[in-house]
Amino acid sequence: MRILITGGAGFIGSNFVHYTLEKYPEDRIIVLDALTYAGNLENFNKHTWSNPNFQFFHGNIIDEDLVNELMRNVDTVVHFAAETHVDRSIREAGAFLETDIWGTYILLEAAKQNGIKRFVHISTDEVYGEAEGRPSVEGDDLKPKSPYAASKAGADRLAWSYWATYGLPVAISRCSNNYGPFQYPEKLIPLFVTNAIEEKPLPVYGHGKNTRDWIFVQDHCSGIDALLRSEDGKVNGEVFNISSENELSVLDITEIILATLKKPKSLINHVEDRPGHVTRHAVNPGKIRKALGWEPGYGFEENIAKTIDWYKANEDWWRNLKEKQAEYQEWIKTQYGDHS
Ligand code: NAD
Ligand code: TYD
């Protein structure tokens, strides 16, 4: 397989690159990434850079000519590239509309013109909005609550329309909150793990009882792999939730991180709540289990311990961002002010 991976220098994209190169050493991978503040070339090690089946292109998914040129050399696409942080979208939504919606349109058009055989669109469980009463199922209404989630909902439906209108073989994943190595330290788990290591306050929004459905990034990668490689009749034009059914509140997560790192609870700092904060995100993965036989790997306890160990062992990776990246420092000051 020859795969174009957009956003491959980000958190989930780089984990998917590692996953694929290891599992399918014969496959050829082309990464297209704009290297925004969230894209990081240090997410690839020297083995990846020297792998003849790995190629990296620094560029934007809204660059039609570049996208068309790259698309001519692949048969499949896995589309991760996006602006992804809810809090940033609340402050300034423009970049989210441009990349998440317009960028997806450019890719879909190029995929249509170049006869792409499978286009896996990485959507998110955020498109559902609140999971009221039970975890969301694929047929539920989309009621996104943040500009990020709304942009992703637009992209998700646009991708599906290319299947419905043009027969482009699109498969869509809607996964829950990921955690694991290489996650940019603005998201809850890497921010709190690295702050706890540094003995800095952990800024919990509001009461901290909001819940998310946490999945180890490797399990998301195996789900995407199933969407990429399953037979046409099973996945084309279909949406699949991906979740390891592990709902925990922000406070639960915070306490687990502090206990694992043997740091005091006094580091918990309740700050002003996020506007429009979703109380509960959770999805039912019954469809992907039944249709594709997908199952998550190890449980949360092992995986969160592994993740915390990774951030302990890779201080250089996150200190380079927290201490040297101007965009990071600016963000922390804007978002947390005196609480940072
Ligand atoms: P991330 O922010 O870590 O990475 C995004 C990557 O996209 C970065 O490498 C960035 O440089 C690149 N990018 C941004 N704009 C671009 C553009 N215009 N052109 C080319 N590249 C661009 O994000 P992530 O957490 O790895 O998320 C990846 C995908 O998975 C996103 O589509 C996101 O919506 C989806 N998703 C994320 C989660 C999660 O918990 N993180 C859960 C479900 C779905
Ligand atoms: P986040 O990692 O931003 O993911 P998402 O908003 O996409 O679910 O946030 C996860 C949860 O953690 C969410 O309920 C907001 C909360 N949160 C905090 O309480 N404090 C923080 O500093 C951050 C970044 C998140």
Q: What are phi and psi of 331, to 5 degrees?
A: -65, -45
Is 75 contained in some domain? yes
Residues 153, 19: one domain? Answer: yes
Name which of 48-52, 224-228, 297-301, 328-332 the model is least confident about: 297-301
Helix, coil or strand: residue 210: coil
Residue whose Cα lies nearest atom 10 of ligand 2: it is 188
pLDDT tens digit sequence for 191-243: 999 999 999 999 999 999 999 999 999 999 999 999 999 999 999 999 999 99
**Residue percentage of the chain with pLDDT more than 90:** 99
**CATH number of the domain that 193 lies in?**
3.90.25.10
Q: Are 130 and 145 in contact (CB under 8 A)?
A: yes
Query: Probe ligand 2: pick from 212, 283, 328, max atoms within 8 Å of CB?
Result: 212
Is 13 contained in some domain? yes
**CATH number of the domain that 88 lies in?**
3.40.50.720
* Pocket-forming residues, ligand 2, beta carbon under 6 Å: 86, 126, 177, 187-188, 191, 203-205, 210, 212, 250, 274
Residues 130, 204: one domain? Answer: no
Q: Identify the band that residue 258 occupies on the pLDDT scale cut at 50, 70 and 90.
A: very high
Residues 79, 125: one domain? Answer: yes
- 7 C-alpha to center of ligand 1: Å? 6
Is 289 contained in some domain? no
Q: What are phi and psi of 66, to 5 degrees?
A: -65, -45
Instruction: Find residue 123's DSSP bridge partners.
Output: 174
Query: Probe ligand 1: pick from 14, 17, 30, 36, max atoms within 8 Å of CB?
Result: 36
Residues 159, 268: one domain? Answer: no
State yes or no: pLDDT of 298 exceeds 90.
Answer: no
**Residue percentage of the chain with pLDDT more than 70:** 99
Q: Is 16 in the pocket of ligand 1 (CB under 6 A)?
A: no
Is 291 contained in some domain? no
Tell me the ligand closest to 209's alpha carbon: 2
- 13 C-alpha to center of ligand 2: Å? 20
Is 288 contained in some domain? no
Residues 110, 128: one domain? Answer: yes
* Mean pLDDT in residue range 57-76: 98
Q: How far apart are CA 85 and CA 104, in angstroms?
A: 17
Instruction: Write the CB contacts of 301 (distance below 8 Å, at least 6 apart in sequence).
Output: none
DSSP per-residue letters across 104-146: HHHHHHHHHHTT-SEEEEEEEGGGG----SS-B-TTSPP---S
* Mean pLDDT in residue range 74-92: 98
Number of structural domains found in the chain: 2
State yes or no: pLDDT of 171 exceeds 80.
Answer: yes
Residues 49, 150: one domain? Answer: yes
Residues 99, 6: one domain? Answer: yes
Stated pTM of the model: 0.98
Residues 198, 66: one domain? Answer: no
* Mean pLDDT in residue range 279-285: 98
Q: Quick one: which atom of ligand 2 is closest to the CA of 210?
A: 14
Residues 91, 227: one domain? Answer: yes
Residues 127, 95: one domain? Answer: yes
Instruction: Write the CB contacts of 273 (distance below 8 Å, at least 6 apart in sequence).
Output: 205, 206, 207
Q: How far apart are CA 328 and CA 322, in angstroms?
A: 6
Residue whose Cα lies nearest atom 6 of ligand 2: it is 86
- From the list 223, 203, 294, the residue with the least C-alpha distance to 19 is 223
Residues 206, 95: one domain? Answer: no
* Mean pLDDT in residue range 166-170: 98
pLDDT of the residue at 339: 64
Q: Quick one: which atom of ligand 2 is closest to the CA of 148?
A: 7
- Average pLDDT of the residues of the chain: 97
pLDDT tens digit sequence for 22-56: 999 999 999 999 999 999 999 999 999 999 999 99
Query: Distance of alpha carbon 195 from its chain centroid, rounded?
Result: 21
Q: Is 12 in the pocket of ligand 1 (CB under 6 A)?
A: yes
pLDDT tens digit sequence for 142-155: 999 999 999 999 99
Residues 161, 74: one domain? Answer: yes
Provide the annotated active-site residues.
Answer: 125-126, 148
Is 286 contained in some domain? no
Q: How far apart are CA 35 and CA 99, in angstroms?
A: 13
Q: Quick one: which atom of ligand 1 is closest to the CA of 35?
A: 11
Is 238 contained in some domain? yes
* Mean pLDDT in residue range 79-86: 98
Is 55 contained in some domain? yes
Burial (CB < 10 A; 0-12, 13-18, 19+), residue 245, is middle
Note down the domain range covering 55. 2-179+215-242
Q: How far apart are CA 294 and CA 291, in angstroms?
A: 8
Q: Quick one: which atom of ligand 1 is closest to the CA of 85?
A: 2
